[in-house]
Structure 1
Amino acid sequence: MQRIIKIGKTLRNNWKKSVFGAVVLFYGAATAKEKYEINILMQAACKEAVSYGDSVIPIDRNPTLVTVILNPVANKRKAKKDFEKYCEPLLHLAGLQVDVIQTTSEGHAKEIVETLRGTEAIIVAGGDGTVSETVTGLLRRNDNANRFPLGVLPLGRTNTLGNTLFPGGDGVLRVKQLIQACMAIIENNTTVKNVMKIEPIVNEDEVPSKPVYALTSIEWGAFRDTLAKKDKYWIYGPLREYASYIFNGYKDSLCWNCSGTLRYTPPCSGCSNCLRKKPEIKRKWFFMPSNQAAQETDLTSLQNPECTMTNELCFKTCDFKIKPNVTDGIPILSIGLGKNQYSYIEFVSEGWNRARNGDDLPEVVKARTVELQPLDSNKDLVLAIDQEEFEVKPVKITLLPNMVKFFCRSEVKG
């Protein structure tokens, strides 16, 4: 009997070892295949970068200086390693003079860009936060004739704009995304993006702080608060977003009451009222000067009586979002409001649906400018501007159409 038990234990242990060995071999083979595919991609990209540098850039021209603003702690400190491995070699092989400046604290990217001189382009190596800081620093400059095109290397944990400009993914797809982002810079493919200007509304006796600029979204409410907590549940791996809804759907720490007043002006395709004089460009943008001068419509004689009309909306919800959009060719601020109340089951179900399909709030208002007056200005309430957290305060949000030039894939338009 003991012999039979001993044989059974031996067979069970051997089975466990064989299964473990099979798993190790499987993932080892998958990793080896992924590394091989990445090496093939990088070899082809390096050849293309060298070819472009040799054939396009004149021999008698000084190397183009590009400044890289690198957030070394982005994506759990993986950003620097990925930049040095997949991005920096391509930029050097293309004949660019690369000046890398690493950020050391929150807000450092803004300071760098506000005082930057002598460069011909800025490359942001990081996530949404670093991109937002860079754009804010760029648009706070008072030398309107000295705007730089921006390149985005999506190396952060959240890369909303980067994923819009270049298709993303994991593993091989992520490396392919970084290669495409670098080649867009090298080949000088550009597009323009709308920007949201966020200014605090203060009393006459208060000194206003500088405006903040955003590219993707302004969010407020319980769903945003839940997503901000998802990394606490890292043990659940790719299911941590689902776990966050399960464990937080009943908590009072989430903002279940977003209430206040919106004063907004309607969208406008352009008239004398909303005309904003664009800066005169006195320098070439990147490798070569543009062959065509910008043809702009004279808006000074156009009148749109509705442009100055102000509407007001009182709201109460637990899900609030503003994002730039385009409707019928007209840039707009799209304001979405969710339901006022959710039961626990409804909240978790809706959260899981958004985790699978993305959040698409019902659009209730289209606007050009918005004044947000929260009913309750509490220091514990958080407004997320391009994923960065700010205290909820009265603010004015203005849409600035076609404000910043970004490097992009050649097929991306606008």
Structure 2
Amino acid sequence: MGDKCVIVSQWTSMLNIVERHLKRRDVCYTSITGAIPTEDRQARVDSFNVPDGEGTLEGTQGALFLFDLNKPMTVTKSTFWRTVRRCVYVYCGIEVIGTHVGELLYCTGVSMHPTILHGDLVIAERLSVKLGNVHRGDIVGVLSPTDGSLICKRLTHKQLDRIYDCELLPKGRVPRGHSFVQGDNTMSSTDSRIFGPVPDGLVEMATIVTKVGNAGKTLWRHKKKTVAAGVALFYLGDWLNQLRRESHIRALYAKEALKFGQFPISAENTPRRVTVLVNRDANERHVNDKFTKNALPLLHLAGIQVDIIKVESPDQMRSIASVIDNTETDAVFIVGGDGTLAEFLTGMFAERKPELISTIVPIGLFPGGNDNRSLQLLIPNLFQRKDDVRLQCESAMALIENSTHVVHPFKCSISSTLPPTPEVPSAVVPSLAIETSETTETIPTDDPNENAETSDAIANESVEDTKDNEEKPKRRPEEHQEGTVVFALSDVSAGWFRHIEQRKHKLWYWFGWKRKFAYFWEMLKRSPVPLEAEITYEEFCTGCRQCRPAVIQEKPKWRWWHMFTGTPKYANLNVRKNYSNVVNENCGRQHTDKIVASDLIIANVQTDQNVSETSRLELIANDGEATGRFDVICDGWKRCRESATSLSTDPDFYSKKLTASKIDLFVKSLPSFIPKLAIAGDWRTLEDYSNRKVHIEATDKIVQLFVPRQLRFDHDS
């Protein structure tokens, strides 16, 4: 736009980003923020003489920037003191390192020829002296007993060592607590032969590490050690830089959360109550530490009452979800991954009493799992990056800001295709009991005590049988139990790519290369045998009179006083769209297909509430017969390069794509090494899979989920 331009943004985060970049370029600028009325929009732009078509304002809330690239940036008072503070930090750091670790020294004189020449720069360290790790033959820096200057000598003898031909030591031994030092050039060195042994307290510098001039030769001579040390220093520096950056980002989010905590509330109101359910086993037991460090302080700063429950088993998670309601808490914050969320949703919809459905509270999800597919499908532009402290902080800020989004889970069940086993008719049991009673009655005895003992024994046996029946626990839906029902938000997947993505976490010792190595190593050991399945699916329908119930409007109840007040009118808060006039001929139409794939994904994709009241299922699969080991490695490495965790970055990789509302999966063949499916990230082994049916259905059940809208800070904030 030339020297002067106007930059407009509706978001406060954009204001901070632009200001930061302008400061880095030393640009003089003026920022104007606030609500801009509609009639003042173009006038404000015209006042800055912006060329036509280059400046527009969208919305009423925006930020204006006017800067001139020809003017230097004015150094403000805050900038000056920030520079002074940084200089003080640098000076203190150098002083501490030089006093306790080591420093760079300039050597003069010829006393250490030929080891150290006149004018050489050497690196000396102090840790060996502090740790008492100085040995004979080491080059040390000693304070001269004559003038107090720092001299460089070689330590030749330590305490109680015998020395011959030294006039200063009549006993021929070095005294306790002293050291004997000499220069390599004995003809031109002033050392302990002149001023005697020096106290150990005067030994300041320890081993001279290397001469700067010979550093290249030394590093080349020790190539393996140099490479190992370089790699270690690189990762150490990157780790320290990441710690510094994450600490700074936490401080920025803490300031944002504190704004909500400082907002006054009435004495009659109570603070918001949030129940946190922590899955201790999620993400190799690291999720609790991440939540405590990144999200919990923000909730406290925002003035929220937090109750933490550490869940020990999936049964406990489902039990809590089936009874928790809005009288106990205002929101539930789940700390875990997709499997933890699926257990909570299963308890909420499968085990909750129907009359308690209206008391469901909003849910927040802390991205502490390995993949977090639920959030990736919902907000793909934010949650593609993993292990980002900003995403964990944003999940807490979404709960603080009450930023909710309506989502619909899907239902998945695994059942048998075999007919049920016939049971014994109940009419046979009484006849057996009658025969038994008749038999017992036909054994007369003369002893009445024996008859009493016999009747007591029969009674005790019946009581024990009753207790055994009562002590049998009720069957709950487990991983391999028949008729398992799971509600989840993420997906159902199978194949080698899902297996490798789960396997990579066990190769942690490869650090940043673990994911690429997992693809290479698994395909080196095994061939990607595809899975074979037949599917029956029902076409997706956004809503019609066939699949949506008719809207029934209840008439208001009439009372006698309505003769004077008129007919009552009640606002219906749960108004549903009327589909009685919508006709869809393809609704409910079923199709069959066959799948041979090494990567199968059935994802639960959310739809616009104005378009459909349910989510939709999207099935994608590749051509397993045409995918070999090299193809799996290449596509896996492409995913690593693009930071894609679940889907391929190549649009032509998947040969089959379809959308449905219901899918029945009949597995015909599975790789012998991985005979299982992943439902919401948790593996479910399919025993006798040829007689199993996996039913997946999109539901109209509603969940209010706290989700972040954007990342308000970047890594360089």
TM-score by length of 2: 0.49
Any unmatched runs of 5+ in structure 1?
279-291
Distance 1:266 1:130 in 2: 30
Distance 1:378 1:99 in 2: 45
Distance 2:261 2:550 in 1: 36
1:300 is displaced (CA, Å) by 4.4
1:349 is displaced (CA, Å) by 1.8
Mapped pair 1:336 → 2:620? yes
Alpha carbons of 1:21 and 1:245: their partners in 2 closer, same or farther (altered >3 Å)? closer
User: What is the SS of the residue equivalent to 2:493?
Assistant: strand
1:246 is displaced (CA, Å) by 1.6
Matching residue of 1:243: 517
1:370 is displaced (CA, Å) by 0.8
Matching residue of 2:638: 353
Question: Which of 130, 136, 150 matches 2:346?
Answer: 136
User: What is the SS of the residue equivalent to 1:394?
Assistant: strand
Matching residue of 1:271: 544
Question: Which of 646, 655, 659 matches 1:366?
Answer: 659
Matching residue of 2:598: 318
Distance 2:240 2:507 in 1: 29
Question: Which of 506, 526, 532 matches 1:259?
Answer: 532
Once the two structures are superposed, residues 241-267 of structure 1 have per-residue CA deviations (whole angstroms, 9 ceiling, x without a partner) of: 22222222255586x232222111101
Letter of the structure 2 residue corresponding to residue 160 of structure 1: R
Once the two structures are superposed, residues 373-398 of structure 1 have per-residue CA deviations (whole angstroms, 9 ceiling, x without a partner) of: 11248996110112110123312111
1:297 is displaced (CA, Å) by 1.1
Alignment of 1:33-182 (within 5 A): 33-55=241-263, 57-117=265-325, 118-140=328-350, 141-142=352-353, 143-163=356-376, 164-165=378-379, 166-167=382-383, 169=385, 174-182=388-396
Letter of the structure 1 residue corresponding to residue 410 of structure 2: M
Which is further off, 23-32 or 218-227?
Answer: 23-32
User: What is the SS of the residue equivalent to 2:394?
Assistant: helix
Question: Which of 404, 407, 411 matches 2:703?
Answer: 404
Distance 2:317 2:601 in 1: 26
Distance 2:261 2:298 in 1: 10
1:153/1:162 contact within 8 Å kept: no
User: What is the SS of the residue equivalent to 2:290?
Assistant: helix
User: What is the SS of the residue equivalent to 1:63?
Assistant: coil
Which is further off, 32-41 or 208-217?
Answer: 32-41
Matching residue of 1:282: none
Letter of the structure 1 residue corresponding to residue 299 of structure 2: L
Alpha carbons of 1:378 and 1:391: their partners in 2 closer, same or farther (altered >3 Å)? farther
Distance 1:15 1:147 in 2: 69
2:602/2:617 contact within 8 Å kept: yes
Count of aligned pairs: 394
Aligned-pair Cα RMSD in Å: 3.7
1:9 is displaced (CA, Å) by 11
Once the two structures are superposed, residues 202-225 of structure 1 have per-residue CA deviations (whole angstroms, 9 ceiling, x without a partner) of: 455379534102212211122222
Matching residue of 1:287: none
Sequence identity percentage: 24
2:622/2:656 contact within 8 Å kept: no
- Greater RCO (CA < 8 Å, at least 6 residues apart): 1
Which is further off, 84-93 or 30-39?
Answer: 30-39
Alpha carbons of 1:33 and 1:185: their partners in 2 closer, same or farther (altered >3 Å)? same
Distance 1:211 1:106 in 2: 14
Once the two structures are superposed, residues 298-326 of structure 1 have per-residue CA deviations (whole angstroms, 9 ceiling, x without a partner) of: 12453323212111112222222111236
Distance 2:679 2:668 in 1: 19
Any unmatched runs of 5+ in structure 2?
1-113, 116-136, 138-209, 422-480, 552-571, 649-653, 687-691, 712-717
Letter of the structure 2 residue corresponding to residue 369 of structure 1: K
Which is further off, 11-20 or 369-378?
Answer: 11-20
1:98 is displaced (CA, Å) by 1.1
2:276/2:309 contact within 8 Å kept: yes
Alpha carbons of 1:367 and 1:337: their partners in 2 closer, same or farther (altered >3 Å)? same
1:168/1:177 contact within 8 Å kept: no
Question: Which of 648, 661, 682 matches 1:388?
Answer: 682
Matching residue of 1:229: 503
Alpha carbons of 1:224 and 1:137: their partners in 2 closer, same or farther (altered >3 Å)? same
Matching residue of 2:420: 205
Distance 2:506 2:413 in 1: 32
Alpha carbons of 1:276 and 1:410: their partners in 2 closer, same or farther (altered >3 Å)? farther
Which is further off, 326-335 or 6-15?
Answer: 6-15
Distance 1:25 1:225 in 2: 34
User: What is the SS of the residue equivalent to 2:263?
Assistant: helix
Distance 1:66 1:226 in 2: 37
Distance 2:398 2:287 in 1: 19
Distance 2:357 2:518 in 1: 44
2:623/2:655 contact within 8 Å kept: no
Letter of the structure 2 residue corresponding to residue 400 of structure 1: T
Letter of the structure 1 residue corresponding to residue 695 of structure 2: K
Alpha carbons of 1:144 and 1:277: their partners in 2 closer, same or farther (altered >3 Å)? farther
1:333 is displaced (CA, Å) by 1.2
1:194/1:403 contact within 8 Å kept: yes
Distance 1:201 1:21 in 2: 57
Matching residue of 1:284: none
User: What is the SS of the residue equivalent to 1:40?
Assistant: helix
Letter of the structure 2 residue corresponding to residue 97 of structure 1: Q
Which is further off, 343-352 or 363-372?
Answer: 343-352
1:107 is displaced (CA, Å) by 4.7
Letter of the structure 2 residue corresponding to residue 103 of structure 1: V
